[in-house]
Amino acid sequence: MSLLTEWRDYAYGLDDRTPEGKEFWLNYFQAEKGIYEKILATPGADPVKGIVKELAEKYGVSLQTMVGFLDGIDDSLFTSNNLDDITEDSEVTLDIDYEKLYMNMVGCNAEWLYTLPMWDAIFTKEKRDQLYKQEKTSHTVVKPPKVGRNDPCPCGSGKKYKKCCGR
């Protein structure tokens, strides 16, 4: 079984309403925040590269937590790391698309991450506000106005809707 499958089976198998589940996710989110604080502190640096188990040691987290972190950040990278086949000896590269990362954090309602002070050195307040608004409105469904039965048909025939497409 791959490390990613093990992570997902364990983490998503926990009920976050139980004390064990709450404790697990609280610890995971704190570890995740610590990793992001270190990575976002040097935004202009070369992408983070390394072997999975060495990155876990570097950031002071368990191998399982590191795999969870990689699973979470993978959608925010310019190039995915193909996590399905990942092992502890696999090399990964975290070439982060910062706009996508910020928007993904907003989309997940991870306020403890998208409000980190390190974002100040990456984006202006206005840019963060713009990305926030863009992410929040991207899932809003806007319905077109309802066509009344006596209104002109939207197909352009010139007939009333009830005599045309409304049948």
Angle formed by the axes of helices 3-13 and 63-73, to 10°?
A: 90
Where residue 88 falls among pLDDT bands split at 50, 70, 90? Answer: very high
118 and 40 in contact (C-beta within 8 Å)?
yes
Mean pLDDT of 144-166: 90
**Can you give the pLDDT at residue 144?**
82
Question: With 80 as the cut, is the pLDDT of residue 71 above it?
Answer: yes
Q: Could you report the per-residue pLDDT of 92-150, keeping only the tens digit for each?
A: 999 999 999 999 999 999 999 999 999 999 999 999 999 999 999 887 777 888 889 99
Q: Could you report the per-residue pLDDT of 10-59, keeping only the tens digit for each?
A: 999 999 899 999 999 999 999 999 999 999 998 888 899 999 999 999 99
- Measured CA to CA, the distance from residue 37 to residue 69 in angstroms comes to 13
Mean pLDDT of 65-88: 93
- Measured CA to CA, the distance from residue 100 to residue 79 in angstroms comes to 12
Q: In whole angstroms, how far apart are CA 113 and each of 80, 81, 101, 103, 107?
A: 21, 22, 10, 11, 11
- Measured CA to CA, the distance from residue 134 to residue 109 in angstroms comes to 14
**Can you give the pLDDT at residue 40?**
94
3 and 67 in contact (C-beta within 8 Å)?
yes
- The closest of 100, 101, 66 to 86, measured between CA atoms, is 66
Give the pair of three-digit tokens for residue 9.
């089976």
